[in-house]
Amino acid sequence: MRLYVMRHGIAIDSADPGAPADDADRPLTAEGVERTRAALQGLISFGAVVDRVVTSPYLRCTQTAQLASEVLGVPRFSLETHGGLAPGADFSELVAGLRRLPDDGVLLIGHSPDVDRITASLLGLAAPVTALKKAGLVVLQLRTGQELAKLAGVFEPKVLRRLGRTE
> Would you kindly state where each structural domain of the chain is located, as residue ranges?
2-163
Q: What is the pLDDT of residues 95-151, one digit of tens each?
A: 988 888 876 899 999 999 999 999 999 999 999 999 999 999 999 999 877 789 999
The pTM for the full model equals: 0.95
Tell me what pLDDT residue 98 has. 86
Q: What's residue 146's pLDDT? A: 79
Instruction: Return the higher-pLDDT residue of 160 and 103.
Output: 160
At 103 the pLDDT is 66
pLDDT of residue 85: 97
CB atoms under 10 Å from CB of 165, counted, come to 10
pLDDT tens, residue by residue, 36-66: 999 999 999 988 899 999 999 999 999 999 9
Q: What is the pLDDT of residue 154?
A: 97
Write the pLDDT tens digit of every residue in 1-40: 999 999 999 999 999 999 999 999 999 999 999 999 999 9
Q: In what order do the strands lie in the sheet with 79-81?
A: 79-81, 52-55, 105-110, 2-7, 137-141, 150-155
Residue 102's pLDDT is 75
Q: What CATH number is given for 2-163 in this structure? A: 3.40.50.1240
Work out the angle between the directed axes of helices 92-100 and 114-123 (0-180°, nearest 10): 50
